[in-house]
Amino acid sequence: MDQRSLLEFMTIAEKLKCNLRHSCTSSGRPESVAEHTFRLIMFAWLVEDAFPECDSDRVMKMCLLHDMGEAVTGDVPAFEKKEEDRMTEKDAIYQIAEVLPDKKRKEFLMLLEELEASETMEAKIVHALDKMEAIIQHNEASIDTWLPLEYDLQLTYGQEQAKAHPYLERLRELIRQDTLDKIDAAVDEALDEQMGLQGFYKMQCENNLAEEKNVT
């Protein structure tokens, strides 16, 4: 790959650091597309031994490239994404591919077409992990950052993709349990706060009554 094309592609890829996703990190700031991609690759590397029949190198390459179109389009949350958004992102992929030399362009497009078709086990693993990484990130963020619809979405998102393999199904169930635990903890905290407020108001009322008696 000639140096100028390499630098041009790197400049495009840098936008993944700038473009933000809907989810927040545990510190409360918005997550970038690049950060999601990084941890998805880490995720794929960690689970590769569960899929000895699969080409882990191809899995990780698909993870690396899966959101490349968002360098141009930005991220659209899954619950808002429409067919026109998917087509716009697909057009962006072909636009980005033009920067690459023939060999790299063919590999780039071949991997993303395989991922889109979702017929190989490698592609199915990427789709399942992609969705689970997003769920994990929401579990790690403050529940105050969740939208109302995400309480249900956290429990169902990616379940269909996880059916591709028993290991993925078990993993998705563990993540689902973490979500339920997080929701339960938030409910308990809210109830404790409510009881605390009720106790405070009760004490104030009692103090006011005592003061009134003293006055009379």
Q: One-letter amino acid identity for 78?
A: A
Cα(53)–Cα(48) distance, rounded to whole angstroms?
10
pLDDT value for 210: 61
pLDDT value for 142: 97
- Lowest mean pLDDT of 5-14, 42-51, 94-103, 186-195, name the range: 186-195
Report which of 64, 68, 67, 48 is spatially closest to residue 56, judged by C-alpha positions: 48
Q: What are the tokens at 176?
A: 């689902």
| pLDDT (tens digit per residue) in 93-118 | 999 999 999 999 999 999 999 999 99
* 148 pLDDT more than 70: yes
All structural domains of the chain: 3-215 (1.10.3210.10)
- Lowest mean pLDDT of 11-15, 132-136, 203-207, name the range: 203-207
pLDDT value for 191: 78
Mean per-residue pLDDT for 198-209? 55
Mean per-residue pLDDT for 170-177? 98
Instruction: Give the C-alpha distances (Å, rounded to integers) separating 27 from 32, 117, 141, 175.
Output: 13, 36, 7, 20
pLDDT value for 212: 59
Report which of 65, 61, 87 is spatially closest to residue 76, judged by C-alpha positions: 87
pLDDT value for 200: 46
Q: Which residues pair with 24 in a beta bridge?
A: 30
Please report which confidence band the pLDDT of residue 189 belongs to, taking 50, 70 and 90 as the band edges: confident
Mean per-residue pLDDT for 13-29? 97
The gap between the terminal CA atoms of the chain, to the nearest Å, is: 93
What's the CA angle centered on 103, arms 98 and 107, to 5 degrees? 80
Q: Which residues pair with 20 in a beta bridge?
A: 32
Mean pLDDT (the chain, rounded): 92
Cα(153)–Cα(212) distance, rounded to whole angstroms?
53
* 170 pLDDT more than 90: yes
Q: What are the tokens at 8?
A: 């041009």
Report which of 98, 11, 121, 114 is spatially closest to residue 66, judged by C-alpha positions: 114
Cα(150)–Cα(23) distance, rounded to whole angstroms?
11
Please report which confidence band the pLDDT of residue 205 belongs to, taking 50, 70 and 90 as the band edges: low
Q: At which residue do the structure tokens 């390499």 appear?
A: 6
Q: Are 16 and 65 contacting, i.e. CB atoms less than 8 angstroms apart?
A: no
SS3 of residue 58 by DSSP:
helix
Query: Which position has the higher pLDDT, 209 or 90?
Result: 90
Cα(25)–Cα(142) distance, rounded to whole angstroms?
8
